[in-house]
Each structure stands twice: as C-alpha cells, then as structure tokens.
Amino acid sequence: MSTAGGLVFFGEDSGAFTALDASTGKLLWYFQTNQLWKASPMTYMANGKQYIAVASGSNVIAFSLPRSGSVRLK
C-alpha cells in the first residue's frame, strides 16, 4: 500500500511489516511479527491522525503515522 505522503507499506515473507520511501526505496521502518500476513494493509483516519492497520496471524495490528513533514519512522 502506498500513501500520498510518499510511503510504501508491505508485509514480508519473514513476518516483518515494512515501510519504505516510495521515491528512493530506502528502508524507513519495520516491525517483526513472526506471523503470516492475512490481508493487505489498509489506512484510516481517527481524530485527525492517520493509521495503518494489517491482519497478521490472528491479530489486527495498527500503527499511527507521524504528522505530515515529520517522517521519522526508523
């Protein structure tokens, strides 16, 4: 999944959930779940903040994104 802010999110076969810079491919952040991916990531807004959620194993994991202009994910 890609965002208007230039981020790409995806689940790796290793179980990691990864964020890359869309223009450079540079690794910005990852979170190791050690689970299989059950769905593609999705995004939603709540209280003016953007979140990314994804089903991993028997869980749904959600991460908040930094506000525009303050990307410091790594």
70 found inside a domain: no
Q: Is residue 41 part of a domain?
A: yes
Residue 72 in any domain: the answer is no
pTM for the model stands at 0.78
| Cα gap 38→55, rounded to integer Å | 5
pLDDT digits (tens, 9 = 90+) for 18-56: 999 999 999 999 999 988 888 889 999 999 888 999 998
Is 71 within the bounds of a domain?
no
Q: How are beta strands 42-46 and 49-56 bridged, if at all?
A: antiparallel
Q: Which amino acid appears at position 31 of this protein?
A: F
Residue 59 lies in a domain: yes
Q: Which residues form the domain of 38?
A: 7-64
Which pLDDT score is estimated for 28?
93
What is the SS3 string spanning 2-28? ECCCCEEEEECCCCEEEEEECCCCCEE
pLDDT at 3: 86
Report yes or no on 1 lying in a domain.
no
pLDDT for 69 equals 53
* Total number of domains in the chain: 1
